[in-house]
Amino acid sequence: MTPFTTETAPALKLPVANVDTDQLIPARFMKEPRKPDGYGRFLLHDLMQEGDIPEPQPGQKILVARRNFGCGSSREAAVYALGDFGFRCIIAPSFGDIFSSNCVKNGVVPATVDEADAEALLAAGDLPVTVDLAAQRITAGNVVVEFRIDPVWKTQLLNGWDDIDLTLAEADRIAAFVARDATERGWAAPRR
């Protein structure tokens, strides 16, 4: 995964609540059983066809939305589509639980902000948006807001780590525990 530190880019403003994973990528476009390239072209397809939202533009790497973004099914392809299009950060007041976890596993920052802050960012015009993960700060012109993210997810995203990398980062502590446990609870070790 590519580490995420700071990103400054144009943002897609999506003033819609409850955007579910089927709206992010309709099921009929999911033909690959694994993470494919090309899902980005189907991102928000039906909502755009209905004229309800602006079309994502190349270079937009940040998406600002209203509450409950990524709700619905546990469709990881929704995050594949966002990532394939080029989005690195989604900003919203709340997310579907599985969606936000899938974001982190695919290198996309799920930045949780207060509803008033989301509205301020949506109203900030076409200014570029800067997301600073280390400081947990978002800036768009004069609008500066703080965001929340799970500290473990923050560590993973800053380092570009998947779950295995996160575990390997603790290899010394794990080895020390195993050695200490073998001494303190030798009776618990499996017999060979």
* Residue ranges covered by each domain of the chain: 6-188
Euclidean distance between CA atoms 82 and 5, whole angstroms: 18
Scanning the structure block, which residue is given the tokens 């709206």?
Answer: 23
% helix, strand, coil for the chain, step of 5: 40, 20, 40
Nearest Cα to Cα of residue 88 among 77, 79, 97: 79
Instruction: Report domain 6-188's class.
Output: alpha beta
- pLDDT for 182 equals 84
Residue among 25, 35, 33, 22 at smallest CA distance from 162: 35
Q: State residue 38's pLDDT score.
A: 84
**What pLDDT score was predicted for residue 34?**
63
- The SS3 of residue 94 is coil
Q: What is the pLDDT of residue 96?
A: 94
Nearest by Cα to 144 from 163, 158, 130, 125 = 130
Give, for all 192 residues of the chain, the pLDDT tens digit.
899 999 999 999 999 999 999 999 998 888 766 666 788 989 999 888 887 688 888 899 999 999 999 999 888 999 999 999 999 999 999 999 999 999 999 999 999 999 999 999 999 988 999 999 999 999 999 999 999 999 999 999 999 998 899 899 899 999 889 889 888 888 887 777
CA distance 131 to 110: 11
Q: Read off the pTM.
A: 0.89
Contacting residues for 153 by C-beta, under 8 A, at least 6 apart: 104, 110
H-helix segments, the chain: 21-24, 45-49, 77-85, 97-105, 115-122, 151-159, 163-168, 171-184
pLDDT of 30: 85
- Please list, in sequence order, all residues whose beta carbon lies within 8 angstroms of the beta carbon of residue 189, skipping any fewer than 6 positions away: 182
- State residue 32's pLDDT score: 67
> What is the per-residue pLDDT for 106?
94
How confident is the model at residue 25, as a pLDDT?
92
